[in-house]
Amino acid sequence: MKRFLVWLCLAGVAAALAGREARSAEAEGTVSFPLELAILDPDGKDKLPPYIVMFEKGLDQDGKDVRGPLGRLEALRGASKLFPESNDNPGLPVVLRGLRFHRQQSADGTAHYEIELLGEFNTIKVPVKPEEMQKFLAGEVATFSLKGEKNFGLYSYVSTMKMTMQLRRDELLIFKIEGDFNFREGLFTYTSKSKKLTPPANRDYLFRGQRSELPALPTI
């Protein structure tokens, strides 16, 4: 009896995985790559993307005032044109402009995927775990982790972000975002308090997205 139950459980798992792969393959047949999805702020105006603020109030994770180093770091990337009002923010605004998914096929027919997170000035591009991409294309909730690094010599920074989302036909729903940011100025390193964003009480998602052509930006 125990053997039968174990077999039944394994068969159920195999069937679920086969169903996901079938849904993923079917969805992939209707998706053209690169798949571009603009992120929109439901609470904003004019269908602009959202932005989050690291180092809120100009403070690091220990409450230390780092507005001076932050200002010099921001001067390297330039002032925001999408959100001019954010230039007066003492923290570090980070724009979430959109996501771009890439697909490449190796000689043996295996598909490989990459995801780009576009900001205002540049993009982060990383490989995607095949199982997460299968879930995403099958319309299931998937989680993607991104990491970007940039070294200007005197300055360098590391940005990480984890995003939980779901593709519902042509609509993208983002449910949760976790982000970290640290940068170095000379011999000193500054770390922001971790950012964790979840949906507001009046809806079940944080941000939404839609298929739209996105700009070509330099990759870090």
Give the residue extent of every domain in the chain.
Answer: 1-30, 33-211
Per-residue pLDDT band at 13 (split at 50, 70, 90): very low
- Please give the residue that has the higher pLDDT: either 25 or 142: 142
pLDDT of residue 3: 55
Q: Could you tell me which of 121, 122, 126, 152 has the C-alpha nearest to residue 219?
A: 122
The percentage of the chain sitting over the pLDDT mark of 90, rounded to a whole number, equals 79
**Calpha distance 120→77 (Å, rounded):** 10
* Residue 179 half-sphere exposure toward CB, CA atoms < 13 A: 22
What DSSP state is assigned to residue 186? T
Report d(CA 166, CA 144) in Å as an integer: 11
* Residue 178 pLDDT greater than 70, yes or no: yes
CA gap 217, 121 in Å, rounded: 7
pLDDT for position 4: 45
- pLDDT value for 88: 95
The pLDDT tens digits for 35-94 are: 999 999 999 878 899 999 999 999 999 999 999 999 999 998 899 999 999 999 999 999
50 closest CA partner among 32, 63, 35, 38: 38
Residue 176: closest CA among 205, 147, 155, 200: 205
- Asked if 71 contacts 190 with a C-beta cutoff of 8 angstroms, the reply is no
How many other C-beta atoms lie within 10 A of the C-beta of residue 111?
Answer: 15
Write down the pLDDT at residue 11: 41
Mean pLDDT score of the chain, rounded to an integer? 89
Alpha carbons 102 and 220: distance in angstroms, whole number: 16
